[in-house]
Structure 1
Amino acid sequence: MELLTFDSFTKKIYIKASLEKIYWCWATTEGIMSWFLRRAEYLGADAKVRNPSDFIQEGDTYIWEWHNWDGQEKGSVLKANGKDFLEISFAGDCRVAITLQDKSSSILVTLKQYNIPTDEKSKMQIHYGCSNGWTFWLANLKAYLEHGILLNETEHDLRQFPNAGLEFVNM
Protein backbone atom coordinates (compact mmCIF):
# COMPACT_ATOMS: atom_id res chain seq x y z
CA MET A 1 0.00 0.00 0.00
CA GLU A 2 1.26 3.45 -0.92
CA LEU A 3 1.72 5.77 2.04
CA LEU A 4 -0.48 8.83 2.13
CA THR A 5 1.42 12.11 2.14
CA PHE A 6 0.62 15.81 1.94
CA ASP A 7 2.45 16.34 -1.35
CA SER A 8 -0.19 14.53 -3.43
CA PHE A 9 -3.58 12.84 -3.42
CA THR A 10 -5.56 10.65 -5.80
CA LYS A 11 -9.34 10.56 -6.34
CA LYS A 12 -11.13 7.92 -8.41
CA ILE A 13 -14.69 7.42 -9.61
CA TYR A 14 -16.45 5.09 -12.05
CA ILE A 15 -18.73 6.86 -14.52
CA LYS A 16 -21.17 5.19 -16.91
CA ALA A 17 -20.57 7.30 -20.01
CA SER A 18 -18.43 6.99 -23.08
CA LEU A 19 -14.72 7.67 -22.81
CA GLU A 20 -15.11 10.25 -25.59
CA LYS A 21 -17.85 12.14 -23.70
CA ILE A 22 -15.85 12.22 -20.47
CA TYR A 23 -12.74 13.43 -22.26
CA TRP A 24 -14.85 16.13 -23.96
CA CYS A 25 -16.08 17.23 -20.52
CA TRP A 26 -12.50 17.83 -19.40
CA ALA A 27 -10.80 18.93 -22.61
CA THR A 28 -13.07 21.52 -24.26
CA THR A 29 -14.33 24.89 -23.09
CA GLU A 30 -17.97 23.94 -23.62
CA GLY A 31 -17.41 20.59 -21.94
CA ILE A 32 -15.75 21.88 -18.80
CA MET A 33 -18.32 24.65 -18.45
CA SER A 34 -21.18 22.15 -18.69
CA TRP A 35 -20.49 20.65 -15.25
CA PHE A 36 -17.62 22.47 -13.55
CA LEU A 37 -16.99 26.13 -14.31
CA ARG A 38 -18.89 29.37 -14.77
CA ARG A 39 -16.32 30.51 -17.34
CA ALA A 40 -13.31 28.94 -19.02
CA GLU A 41 -10.97 30.28 -21.64
CA TYR A 42 -8.17 28.41 -23.35
CA LEU A 43 -5.56 30.20 -25.39
CA GLY A 44 -3.48 28.35 -27.95
CA ALA A 45 0.27 28.80 -28.33
CA ASP A 46 -0.54 31.60 -30.80
CA ALA A 47 -2.35 33.46 -27.94
CA LYS A 48 -5.70 33.15 -29.77
CA VAL A 49 -8.75 32.00 -27.83
CA ARG A 50 -9.55 28.40 -28.66
CA ASN A 51 -13.06 27.72 -30.02
CA PRO A 52 -15.39 26.32 -27.31
CA SER A 53 -15.73 22.95 -29.08
CA ASP A 54 -12.01 22.50 -29.85
CA PHE A 55 -9.91 20.15 -27.75
CA ILE A 56 -7.22 21.71 -25.62
CA GLN A 57 -3.64 21.13 -26.70
CA GLU A 58 -0.33 20.82 -24.93
CA GLY A 59 1.07 24.33 -24.53
CA ASP A 60 -2.33 26.04 -24.18
CA THR A 61 -2.93 28.33 -21.24
CA TYR A 62 -6.20 28.64 -19.39
CA ILE A 63 -8.26 30.93 -17.20
CA TRP A 64 -10.98 29.33 -15.09
CA GLU A 65 -13.73 30.94 -13.03
CA TRP A 66 -16.14 29.11 -10.72
CA HIS A 67 -19.65 29.90 -9.60
CA ASN A 68 -19.66 31.49 -6.13
CA TRP A 69 -16.00 32.49 -6.15
CA ASP A 70 -14.60 35.75 -7.49
CA GLY A 71 -11.06 34.50 -8.07
CA GLN A 72 -9.50 32.99 -11.16
CA GLU A 73 -7.27 29.98 -11.67
CA LYS A 74 -4.65 30.40 -14.36
CA GLY A 75 -2.40 27.68 -15.64
CA SER A 76 -1.07 25.69 -18.54
CA VAL A 77 -2.01 22.51 -20.34
CA LEU A 78 1.06 20.33 -19.91
CA LYS A 79 -0.22 17.23 -21.70
CA ALA A 80 -3.36 16.36 -23.67
CA ASN A 81 -3.46 13.26 -25.85
CA GLY A 82 -6.93 13.87 -27.32
CA LYS A 83 -8.32 10.62 -25.94
CA ASP A 84 -7.78 9.56 -22.33
CA PHE A 85 -5.15 11.68 -20.55
CA LEU A 86 -4.50 15.29 -19.76
CA GLU A 87 -2.38 17.17 -17.26
CA ILE A 88 -2.48 20.81 -16.21
CA SER A 89 -0.64 23.11 -13.86
CA PHE A 90 -2.96 24.07 -11.01
CA ALA A 91 -2.81 26.00 -7.73
CA GLY A 92 0.60 27.47 -8.37
CA ASP A 93 3.22 24.83 -9.10
CA CYS A 94 0.92 21.86 -8.50
CA ARG A 95 -0.06 19.44 -11.24
CA VAL A 96 -3.40 17.76 -11.89
CA ALA A 97 -3.44 14.66 -14.08
CA ILE A 98 -6.68 13.11 -15.37
CA THR A 99 -6.55 9.52 -16.61
CA LEU A 100 -9.53 7.73 -18.18
CA GLN A 101 -9.60 3.93 -18.36
CA ASP A 102 -12.28 1.85 -20.06
CA LYS A 103 -13.48 -0.80 -17.60
CA SER A 104 -16.12 -2.36 -19.92
CA SER A 105 -19.32 -1.12 -18.23
CA SER A 106 -17.83 2.14 -16.96
CA ILE A 107 -14.93 4.51 -17.33
CA LEU A 108 -12.60 4.81 -14.35
CA VAL A 109 -11.71 8.47 -13.92
CA THR A 110 -8.54 8.99 -11.88
CA LEU A 111 -7.49 12.46 -10.79
CA LYS A 112 -4.09 12.91 -9.20
CA GLN A 113 -2.98 16.25 -7.82
CA TYR A 114 0.69 16.31 -6.95
CA ASN A 115 3.69 18.55 -6.40
CA ILE A 116 1.81 20.12 -3.49
CA PRO A 117 4.03 22.15 -1.13
CA THR A 118 4.04 20.72 2.40
CA ASP A 119 4.07 23.91 4.47
CA GLU A 120 1.13 24.25 6.87
CA LYS A 121 -0.79 26.73 4.69
CA SER A 122 -0.52 24.46 1.62
CA LYS A 123 -1.52 21.40 3.63
CA MET A 124 -4.74 23.16 4.60
CA GLN A 125 -5.57 25.18 1.51
CA ILE A 126 -4.27 22.97 -1.28
CA HIS A 127 -4.17 19.40 0.04
CA TYR A 128 -7.25 19.56 2.23
CA GLY A 129 -9.13 22.18 0.18
CA CYS A 130 -8.47 20.73 -3.27
CA SER A 131 -8.95 17.15 -2.10
CA ASN A 132 -12.41 18.02 -0.79
CA GLY A 133 -13.16 20.12 -3.84
CA TRP A 134 -12.17 17.47 -6.36
CA THR A 135 -14.22 14.86 -4.46
CA PHE A 136 -17.31 16.98 -4.95
CA TRP A 137 -16.57 17.90 -8.56
CA LEU A 138 -16.00 14.29 -9.59
CA ALA A 139 -19.34 13.38 -8.00
CA ASN A 140 -20.89 16.32 -9.88
CA LEU A 141 -19.44 15.04 -13.16
CA LYS A 142 -20.94 11.59 -12.48
CA ALA A 143 -24.35 13.10 -11.63
CA TYR A 144 -24.26 15.21 -14.77
CA LEU A 145 -23.27 12.42 -17.15
CA GLU A 146 -25.34 9.61 -15.65
CA HIS A 147 -28.45 11.53 -14.53
CA GLY A 148 -28.42 14.90 -16.29
CA ILE A 149 -28.32 16.92 -13.06
CA LEU A 150 -25.84 19.32 -11.53
CA LEU A 151 -25.17 19.34 -7.81
CA ASN A 152 -23.23 22.60 -7.59
CA GLU A 153 -24.94 25.73 -6.35
CA THR A 154 -25.74 28.21 -9.10
CA GLU A 155 -29.01 29.70 -7.80
CA HIS A 156 -27.81 31.15 -4.49
CA ASP A 157 -24.86 33.53 -4.20
CA LEU A 158 -22.64 31.95 -1.56
CA ARG A 159 -19.96 34.64 -1.76
CA GLN A 160 -21.67 36.49 1.10
CA PHE A 161 -20.54 33.77 3.52
CA PRO A 162 -16.87 34.14 4.55
CA ASN A 163 -16.43 30.39 5.11
CA ALA A 164 -18.60 29.25 2.20
CA GLY A 165 -15.80 27.22 0.64
CA LEU A 166 -15.25 25.35 3.89
CA GLU A 167 -18.90 24.88 4.88
CA PHE A 168 -20.99 24.37 1.75
CA VAL A 169 -20.55 20.92 0.24
CA ASN A 170 -21.81 22.04 -3.18
CA MET A 171 -19.76 25.17 -3.68
Structure 2
Amino acid sequence: MKKLSWEAFTKRIHIKTSVEKLYWCWATKEGITSWFLKDAEFLRNGAPINKSEFIQPEDTYTWFWHNWDGQEEGVILEANGKDFIKFSFAGSCDVTITIEQKEQAVLLSLTQAKIPQDEKSKLEIFYGCSNGWTFWLANLKSYIEHGILLNETEIDLRPFGLAGYEFVNM
Protein backbone atom coordinates (compact mmCIF):
# COMPACT_ATOMS: atom_id res chain seq x y z
CA MET A 1 0.00 0.00 0.00
CA LYS A 2 1.22 3.48 -0.81
CA LYS A 3 1.85 5.81 2.09
CA LEU A 4 -0.31 8.94 2.31
CA SER A 5 1.57 12.24 2.28
CA TRP A 6 1.03 15.97 1.76
CA GLU A 7 2.96 15.84 -1.54
CA ALA A 8 0.26 14.18 -3.65
CA PHE A 9 -3.21 12.68 -3.62
CA THR A 10 -5.17 10.40 -5.93
CA LYS A 11 -8.93 10.35 -6.56
CA ARG A 12 -10.62 7.54 -8.49
CA ILE A 13 -14.12 6.94 -9.80
CA HIS A 14 -15.83 4.33 -11.98
CA ILE A 15 -18.04 5.82 -14.69
CA LYS A 16 -20.34 3.86 -17.00
CA THR A 17 -19.24 5.24 -20.36
CA SER A 18 -16.54 4.72 -22.95
CA VAL A 19 -12.86 5.55 -22.66
CA GLU A 20 -13.29 7.77 -25.73
CA LYS A 21 -16.11 9.82 -24.16
CA LEU A 22 -14.13 10.45 -20.96
CA TYR A 23 -11.04 11.45 -22.91
CA TRP A 24 -13.15 13.91 -24.93
CA CYS A 25 -14.49 15.36 -21.65
CA TRP A 26 -10.94 16.24 -20.56
CA ALA A 27 -9.11 16.82 -23.83
CA THR A 28 -11.32 19.29 -25.72
CA LYS A 29 -12.72 22.72 -24.95
CA GLU A 30 -16.15 21.44 -25.92
CA GLY A 31 -15.83 18.53 -23.51
CA ILE A 32 -14.28 20.24 -20.50
CA THR A 33 -16.81 23.09 -20.57
CA SER A 34 -19.72 20.64 -20.69
CA TRP A 35 -19.24 19.47 -17.08
CA PHE A 36 -16.40 21.39 -15.42
CA LEU A 37 -15.67 24.94 -16.57
CA LYS A 38 -17.56 28.08 -17.52
CA ASP A 39 -15.03 28.62 -20.32
CA ALA A 40 -11.63 27.38 -21.44
CA GLU A 41 -9.05 28.59 -23.89
CA PHE A 42 -6.46 26.23 -25.34
CA LEU A 43 -3.63 27.71 -27.38
CA ARG A 44 -1.19 25.96 -29.69
CA ASN A 45 1.77 28.07 -30.73
CA GLY A 46 -0.12 31.12 -29.47
CA ALA A 47 -3.27 30.49 -31.54
CA PRO A 48 -6.59 29.10 -30.24
CA ILE A 49 -7.38 25.51 -31.19
CA ASN A 50 -10.80 24.40 -32.40
CA LYS A 51 -13.26 23.62 -29.59
CA SER A 52 -13.53 19.96 -30.65
CA GLU A 53 -9.81 19.37 -31.28
CA PHE A 54 -7.82 17.27 -28.82
CA ILE A 55 -5.18 19.04 -26.76
CA GLN A 56 -1.53 18.17 -27.38
CA PRO A 57 1.68 18.44 -25.36
CA GLU A 58 2.93 22.03 -25.09
CA ASP A 59 -0.53 23.51 -25.63
CA THR A 60 -1.32 26.12 -22.99
CA TYR A 61 -4.63 26.65 -21.28
CA THR A 62 -6.59 29.25 -19.38
CA TRP A 63 -9.59 27.97 -17.44
CA PHE A 64 -12.54 29.96 -16.06
CA TRP A 65 -14.99 28.58 -13.48
CA HIS A 66 -18.53 29.45 -12.54
CA ASN A 67 -18.57 31.36 -9.23
CA TRP A 68 -14.89 32.25 -9.16
CA ASP A 69 -13.40 35.37 -10.69
CA GLY A 70 -9.90 33.91 -10.90
CA GLN A 71 -8.48 31.78 -13.64
CA GLU A 72 -6.09 28.88 -13.87
CA GLU A 73 -3.29 28.88 -16.41
CA GLY A 74 -1.05 25.98 -17.28
CA VAL A 75 0.58 23.79 -19.87
CA ILE A 76 -0.39 20.40 -21.25
CA LEU A 77 2.62 18.25 -20.41
CA GLU A 78 1.47 14.97 -21.97
CA ALA A 79 -1.57 13.82 -23.92
CA ASN A 80 -1.72 10.59 -25.91
CA GLY A 81 -5.03 11.13 -27.74
CA LYS A 82 -6.83 8.25 -26.04
CA ASP A 83 -6.46 7.64 -22.29
CA PHE A 84 -3.72 9.73 -20.63
CA ILE A 85 -3.32 13.46 -19.94
CA LYS A 86 -0.89 15.32 -17.71
CA PHE A 87 -0.99 19.09 -17.16
CA SER A 88 0.51 21.69 -14.87
CA PHE A 89 -1.92 23.01 -12.28
CA ALA A 90 -2.01 25.23 -9.17
CA GLY A 91 1.45 26.68 -9.68
CA SER A 92 4.09 23.97 -9.47
CA CYS A 93 1.74 20.97 -9.31
CA ASP A 94 1.05 18.36 -11.98
CA VAL A 95 -2.29 16.64 -12.51
CA THR A 96 -2.36 13.27 -14.23
CA ILE A 97 -5.54 11.75 -15.66
CA THR A 98 -5.61 8.07 -16.59
CA ILE A 99 -8.64 6.36 -18.10
CA GLU A 100 -8.87 2.56 -18.06
CA GLN A 101 -11.57 0.23 -19.33
CA LYS A 102 -12.56 -2.22 -16.60
CA GLU A 103 -15.12 -5.01 -16.72
CA GLN A 104 -18.24 -3.03 -15.77
CA ALA A 105 -17.17 0.61 -16.17
CA VAL A 106 -14.31 2.93 -17.00
CA LEU A 107 -11.96 3.77 -14.14
CA LEU A 108 -10.82 7.38 -14.13
CA SER A 109 -7.85 8.17 -11.88
CA LEU A 110 -6.69 11.69 -11.08
CA THR A 111 -3.42 12.34 -9.26
CA GLN A 112 -2.26 15.79 -8.22
CA ALA A 113 1.44 15.77 -7.32
CA LYS A 114 4.36 18.07 -6.54
CA ILE A 115 2.34 19.90 -3.89
CA PRO A 116 4.58 22.31 -1.95
CA GLN A 117 5.01 21.44 1.73
CA ASP A 118 4.32 24.85 3.33
CA GLU A 119 1.21 25.25 5.51
CA LYS A 120 -0.60 27.48 2.98
CA SER A 121 -0.18 24.84 0.24
CA LYS A 122 -1.33 22.07 2.56
CA LEU A 123 -4.56 24.00 3.16
CA GLU A 124 -5.23 25.55 -0.23
CA ILE A 125 -3.79 22.92 -2.57
CA PHE A 126 -3.87 19.58 -0.75
CA TYR A 127 -7.10 20.16 1.18
CA GLY A 128 -8.74 22.55 -1.28
CA CYS A 129 -7.90 20.74 -4.50
CA SER A 130 -8.51 17.30 -2.99
CA ASN A 131 -12.02 18.34 -1.96
CA GLY A 132 -12.55 20.14 -5.26
CA TRP A 133 -11.51 17.20 -7.42
CA THR A 134 -13.74 14.88 -5.36
CA PHE A 135 -16.74 17.04 -6.23
CA TRP A 136 -15.78 17.52 -9.87
CA LEU A 137 -15.29 13.80 -10.48
CA ALA A 138 -18.72 13.14 -8.93
CA ASN A 139 -20.10 15.90 -11.16
CA LEU A 140 -18.53 14.25 -14.20
CA LYS A 141 -20.11 10.89 -13.29
CA SER A 142 -23.50 12.53 -12.75
CA TYR A 143 -23.25 14.34 -16.08
CA ILE A 144 -22.11 11.32 -18.08
CA GLU A 145 -24.42 8.73 -16.55
CA HIS A 146 -27.54 10.85 -15.89
CA GLY A 147 -27.22 14.15 -17.78
CA ILE A 148 -27.32 16.11 -14.52
CA LEU A 149 -24.83 18.81 -13.51
CA LEU A 150 -24.38 19.25 -9.76
CA ASN A 151 -22.34 22.46 -9.82
CA GLU A 152 -24.00 25.81 -9.18
CA THR A 153 -24.33 27.93 -12.32
CA GLU A 154 -27.35 30.11 -11.49
CA ILE A 155 -26.78 31.39 -7.93
CA ASP A 156 -23.80 33.71 -7.49
CA LEU A 157 -21.76 32.25 -4.63
CA ARG A 158 -18.91 34.77 -4.90
CA PRO A 159 -20.21 37.08 -2.12
CA PHE A 160 -19.68 34.26 0.41
CA GLY A 161 -16.12 34.74 1.65
CA LEU A 162 -15.40 31.06 2.18
CA ALA A 163 -17.59 29.79 -0.65
CA GLY A 164 -14.89 27.52 -2.05
CA TYR A 165 -14.49 25.81 1.32
CA GLU A 166 -18.14 25.71 2.41
CA PHE A 167 -20.31 25.09 -0.65
CA VAL A 168 -20.19 21.50 -1.83
CA ASN A 169 -21.32 22.42 -5.36
CA MET A 170 -18.98 25.33 -6.08
> 1-side partners of 2:59 and 2:92: how far apart?
16
1:71 — aligned with what?
70
> 1-side partners of 2:6 and 2:149: how far apart?
30
Matched, 1:99 2:83: no
TM-score, normalised relative to structure 2: 0.99
Q: Match for 1:40: what amino acid?
A: A
TM-score, normalised relative to structure 1: 0.99
> 2-side partners of 1:20 and 1:77: how far apart?
19
Structure 2 counterpart SS, 1:42: strand
1:11 — aligned with what?
11
> 2-side partners of 1:86 and 1:163: how far apart?
31
2:143 — aligned with what?
144
How far does the alpha carbon of each residue in 1:41-95 deviate from its partner, in whole angstroms, 9 at most, with x for none? 0001x21101000000001000001000000000000000000000000000100
1:123-162 correspondence to structure 2 within 5 Å: 123-162=122-161
RMSD: 0.4
Q: Match for 1:100: what amino acid?
A: I
Deviation at 1:105, TM superposition (A): 1.9
Structure 2 counterpart SS, 1:54: coil
Deviation at 1:104, TM superposition (A): 2.4
Structure 2 counterpart SS, 1:111: strand
2:54 — aligned with what?
55
1:120 — aligned with what?
119
Q: Match for 2:147: what amino acid?
A: G
Q: Match for 2:9: what amino acid?
A: F
Q: Match for 1:135: what amino acid?
A: T
> 2-side partners of 1:6 and 1:65: how far apart?
26
Runs of 4+ deviating beyond 6 Å: none
How far does the alpha carbon of each residue in 1:18-42 deviate from its partner, in whole angstroms, 9 at most, with x for none? 1100000000000000000001000
Deviation at 1:2, TM superposition (A): 1.0
Structure 2 counterpart SS, 1:149: coil
Matched, 1:41 2:41: yes
> 2-side partners of 1:155 and 1:136: how far apart?
18
Structure 1 counterpart SS, 2:47: coil
Segments of 5+ residues of structure 1 without an aligned counterpart are none
- Using the aligned pairs only, state the percent identity: 64
1:2 — aligned with what?
2
Q: Match for 2:78: what amino acid?
A: K
Structure 1 counterpart SS, 2:151: coil
Segments of 5+ residues of structure 2 without an aligned counterpart are none
